[in-house]
Amino acid sequence: MTKSVLKNLAIIMDGNGRWAQQRGLNRTKGHEQGAEIIRDVTRYCAKHPTIETVTFYAFSTENWKRPKLEVDFLMRLLDRYLQNEFSTYQENNIRFMVIGDISALSPKLQERIRHTQEQTRGNSDLTHILALNYGGRAEIVSAVNRVISEGKHTVSEEDISKALQTPYTDIDLLIRTSGEERVSNYLLWQISYAELYFTQTLWPDFTTQELDEIVTDFEQRTRRFGGLA
């Protein structure tokens, strides 16, 4: 049987808060530990022979409902992460991208994002994508409006696919940690035929060893895309 080839990986990083609470810690400690896991997983993907993109759900359009102190901390953590990881991107030939509406972020953070994207644009071993202030429905609506603004009166699937923010049309594998089994408005267009994997592991406890086991499981799956095996 031919192995399924994993090119585009998407991850919903869930469980930071619960991880911290189980240890009697502030939720922010869970987010800090979770950032370390992003680094490990990104390096794994950069070394993997077939993975071309990894997209992390970092902050959704609904996450603004969280307490302001937590949101502010997440934004500072992101700024620090991008500053610290710049050398990792360059040393591992990783391109950094963001999808979502970053206009709601602070000017300082927007500038950090733009600078990191520009400086890593030529890197080609892996594209590391963060979904920030992102929602799948909003992305589809934006894509349709973009096509209409170009003068088209009818919109095809191909038109929408080309107008999406992601550099790919389809996700091959979507992983969600922490035991929750839903997609939470994430890459709704791109996961239409994705393989799904839900793990009980909280994101701060997620390891590259478990990721490797999940990838091996994916490679053994038969993907039919609506047809027959």
DSSP element (H, E) containing 83:
helix 68-91
Is residue 14 part of the annotated active site? The answer reads yes
Asked if 199 and 36 touch (Cβ cutoff 8 Å), the reply is no
Give the CA angle between residues 85, 86, 90 to the nearest 5°.
Answer: 115
d(CA 203, CA 144): 34
Contact 68, 28 (CB under 8 A): no
| 196: phi then psi, degrees, rounded to nearest 5 | -110, 140
Residue pair 174/191 in contact by the 8 Å Cβ criterion: yes
Catalytic residue among 8, 14, 16, 123: 14
Partnered with residue 59 across adjacent β-strands are 132
For residue 147, the SS3 value is helix
Residue 217 is among the residues annotated as catalytic for this protein: no
Please identify which of the residues 8, 16, 26, 63 carries the catalytic annotation: 63
Q: Which residues are catalytic?
A: 14, 63
